[in-house]
Structure 1
Amino acid sequence: MFFSQLYKNYWPELRTKLYARFGSGPPDPEDIAQQAFIKYSECVTDSPIKNPKAFIYTIARNLFIDAYRQQNKQQQIIDGIFDDVGIAPLVEISPEQCALDKEQNHLIQKAISRLSEKQKKLILASSVDGKSYRHIAAEMGYSLSDVSRSIALAHQFIQSEIQKVDTEAEKTFDTSVQLNYRDSL
């Protein structure tokens, strides 16, 4: 069966089954169906595939699983970043917490801007892009221990910058409370 015929016969059915099984996304079932056919076309060789429909459906299922894993991994990274800097999950944020979080995000951005270019690239690749240290090392040409050490130092620097501001804020608050107490006497 030619590819265009396979696409015409199975794409609508595959999309419908993906919607029924996994919902409207993310990932989008239409995108997954499209990707499954693209992967199928890349796998076609001189020897025919015995059951192309089953093969395409298996590819689509695996693409959905990969997308969910990636989504979960990204959520874990985001949750880890929130935990590292002490920010509450979004469902628990009050207006006061929102203001504090904005200030903390500003502090983090300011601290990151003071990192070396190498550390910035490594932090972004690890924390934002979700790449493993091994992948970063191979991609950027650094040793695995260098990547690990540089990222650890960057995290320590960011934490120390936040801690400095928190300590200064506590001192200012304590002084303010003492002055208000004296004034009330």
Structure 2
Amino acid sequence: MAADGLVRQQLVHRLYVDHQGWLNGWLRRQLGCSQRAADLAQDTFVRVLSKDQGLDAIREPRAYLHTIARGLLINHWRRRQIEQAYLDAVALQPEAVAPSPESQALVVETLLQVDAMLSRLPEKVRRAFLLSQLHGLTYAAIALEVGVSERMVKKYMAQAMLHCLTLIEDDA
């Protein structure tokens, strides 16, 4: 077992030495920020380390690293978009009722968790759930908007609620 660990460590080291510069450059071009690029490049290699699959089976290391880094980059952009939307909403509030930086951080983290939960739902289920919860539409109105029967909207809502409850239980 220790020998397998040493071989894996050597493979990761070789992958890092051979491709870290390229990955960092690609991320720097995408982000326009060398510090954030370095962070995401490092996060990419942390993901590689956490994967259980055999690194010796990787045929195209750059494509493999690119896929991981691209996912991290999408998450980064999504997080920035959510944070900015929240900060824009906070900026519209009078200064006297503006939340503290700690409260803002908690709200942003919660929004990111909700976004992650919603992204795991099928498109029509997510859309029906959002139309109900954010816009207050009736099931009949949602059915017209989504292009399904009212009975299907009920199924979508049950699916979304079950998904929410499952996530709440997982966190407990």
After TM superposition, give the deviation of residue 128 of structure 1 in Å: 4.2
Q: Which residue does 1:62 correspond to in 2?
A: 71
Q: Is the CA contact (8 Å cut-off) linking 2:44 and 2:72 kept in structure 1?
A: yes
The count of aligned residue pairs is: 109
| Alignment CA distance shift 1:21-1:81 (3 Å) | closer
The residue correspondences of 1:165-180 to structure 2 (distance < 5 A) are none
After TM superposition, give the deviation of residue 42 of structure 1 in Å: 1.4
Does residue 108 of structure 1 match 2:108? no
Residues 143-165 of structure 1, C-alpha deviation per residue, up to 9 Å, x if partnerless? Answer: xxxxxxxxxxxxxxxxxxxxxxx
Does residue 52 of structure 1 match 2:61? yes
3-state SS of the aligned residue for 1:2? Answer: helix
Does residue 36 of structure 1 match 2:16? no
Between the aligned partners of 2:106 and 2:29, the Cα distance in structure 1 is 35
| Alignment CA distance shift 1:125-1:17 (3 Å) | closer
Does residue 129 of structure 1 match 2:109? yes
Does residue 16 of structure 1 match 2:5? no
Between the aligned partners of 1:127 and 1:3, the Cα distance in structure 2 is 37
TM-score normalised per structure 2: 0.50
After TM superposition, give the deviation of residue 125 of structure 1 in Å: 7.2
Flag the structure with larger Rg. Answer: 1
Between the aligned partners of 1:38 and 1:9, the Cα distance in structure 2 is 16
- The sequence identity of aligned pairs, in percent, is 23
Q: Is the CA contact (8 Å cut-off) linking 2:82 and 2:108 kept in structure 1?
A: no
Between the aligned partners of 1:50 and 1:128, the Cα distance in structure 2 is 39
Q: CA RMSD in A?
A: 3.5
After TM superposition, give the deviation of residue 130 of structure 1 in Å: 3.9
Between the aligned partners of 1:6 and 1:80, the Cα distance in structure 2 is 43
3-state SS of the aligned residue for 1:50? Answer: coil
TM-score normalised per structure 1: 0.47
The residue correspondences of 1:68-107 to structure 2 (distance < 5 A) are 68-83=77-92, 85=93, 104-105=94-95, 107=96
